[in-house]
Structure 1
């Protein structure tokens, strides 16, 4: 195998693990230690970082039989194709539909990343830069080059990546409440469901909020997560006393019923803007438009829709 530019910088052990599906990691390290794997006809160590153009020779290795990967249907493929907002310089930005997980697992047969790998079979490298909850829609970055993945994730860790969400909160957001700093802790219920709560022993978490528009019983917000904790925006909004509309986890049934009256059938949380700097210095900023469903909800509220509840 000849290493393409997109995979330059990847460790040989990770490179092999991605290609020898079903082979235990211990077996991969064994063939590396024994020198059975050669790069440019020479022995290498597990931590060797591949270079573009390297020729990798792998001995015959028995792999466990794997169930065939589910095939992406035409309808889902078309939906994702139509959702591509940006595809340049090794970076994809997708306007992810609500309800589509970012990757398979835990009962999910196909996620966004599996769909993209089937859509671009000639691309040797397609990886998520960051994640979105399954019920959250909007802009998500996917790297098509390893160098882009490493660079943009470093930008993310350093707080230099722009991420802004549109969120519809129930109730009247408190005036002057522009920042929520509350530690978040993950909990797993007996049912296996994952929940997050504000807890003194949780991880430090910060979200910046800006009121964009007020309605009868609801507030449209821009939310910028400074940290990147699971369910952070949703739990911080709940902590303020204004849980997000349509949130089945953190918002009461009574409140969600009121929002169904204006046509909302899902969580109103949308990744509206992502921005970063690419390895060559090019600045990228991409806006993801709201779906017709969420636009319709906002229009109904502007037209006088009242979602106030007795609670």
Structure 2
């Protein structure tokens, strides 16, 4: 668990069809064995007897919103929304690099890293799949950039791999070339103990029809502290 962080997930929304949970960092969404610590296990223990299917997943070090379908109707609706491009996810990410363009698309295919099957690379190769991430610069500080990131596909490590391929790996993402520490002009050292990536907003059509649903989760305290230490403003982190 990260210093100053609560390991307890937060329920954002719960109704007959959906459960939306704000996952803290250092907690995997799923685990290889049922007895291991995970968000899925936390949900099953908190809601005994509830049939909850995680329709989205976040890497262990990534924080933010995770969706659980509680009914077959909701599961079908969420799948249809993804296929139709109506399932929108907005992430916030911090990089120590400056991007030339204010907005654009990253469309490199993603394949398995031949040297490590747990990692991915942004080029043609084994198990290659098309991938698209839309990005925009949300804010800039003297030494860092806050990105707003929208994955239009759902590949393993997609945002992290695309950011690295663009030349702007995420702060703390050492698996993909990101820095762990930054030294400011005044000598202060800023350290990222995990990947600075947060799923801040979800929106998709209601499983029961009607208006679209929208859910938001504020950036975690560690991300807020790091962005401030890098010269950013708290208001920059609005979902």
TM-score range (shorter-chain normalised) is 0.7 to 0.9
2:127 equivalent to 1:200: no
Moved more, 200-209 or 162-171: 200-209
Q: Find the counterpart in structure 1 of residue 177 from structure 2.
A: 251
Among candidates 14, 18, 29, match of residue 102 of structure 1: 29
- Structure 1: stretches of 5+ with no match in the other structure: 1-74, 305-311
Shift in alpha-carbon separation, 1:91–1:183, aligned structure 2, 3 A? same
Query: Compared with structure 1, are the counterparts of its residues 243 and 280 closer, same or farther at alpha carbon in structure 2 (3 Å cutoff)?
Result: same
Higher strand share: 2
Question: Rg larger in 1 or in 2?
Answer: 1
- Which consecutive residues of structure 2, in runs of 5 or more, have no partner in the other structure? 1-5, 234-239
Report what 1:147 is aligned to: 73
Residues 175 and 164 from structure 1, CA distance in 2 versus in 1: closer, same or farther, beyond 3 angstroms? same
Cα shift readout 1:221-270 (whole Å, capped 9, x = no counterpart): 00001111111111111111110000021025xx2222792242211000
**In structure 2, do the counterparts of structure 1 residues 264 and 276 end up closer, same or farther at CA, with 3 Å as the change threshold?**
same
TM-score (structure 1 length as normaliser)? 0.66
TM value normalised by structure 2: 0.85
The separation in 1 between residues aligned to 2:94 and 2:42, in whole angstroms, is: 29
Q: Is the 8 A contact 1:101 1:108 kept in 2?
A: no
Whether 2:197 is the aligned partner of 1:286: answer: no
Equivalences, count: 221
Q: Secondary structure of the equivalent of 1:258?
A: strand
Show the counterpart of 1:267: 195
Aligned residues: CA RMSD = 2.3
Q: Deviations over 1:8-54 (max 9, x none)?
A: xxxxxxxxxxxxxxxxxxxxxxxxxxxxxxxxxxxxxxxxxxxxxxx
Separation in 1 of the partners of 2:232 and 2:130? 39
Asked whether the equivalents of residues 96 and 168 of structure 2 are also in contact (C-alpha less than 8 Å), the reply is yes
Aligned residue for 2:226?
297
| Cα distance change of structure 1 residues 299 and 153 upon mapping to structure 2, 3 Å threshold | same
- Could you say which structure has the higher helix fraction? 1
Moved more, 235-244 or 108-117: 108-117
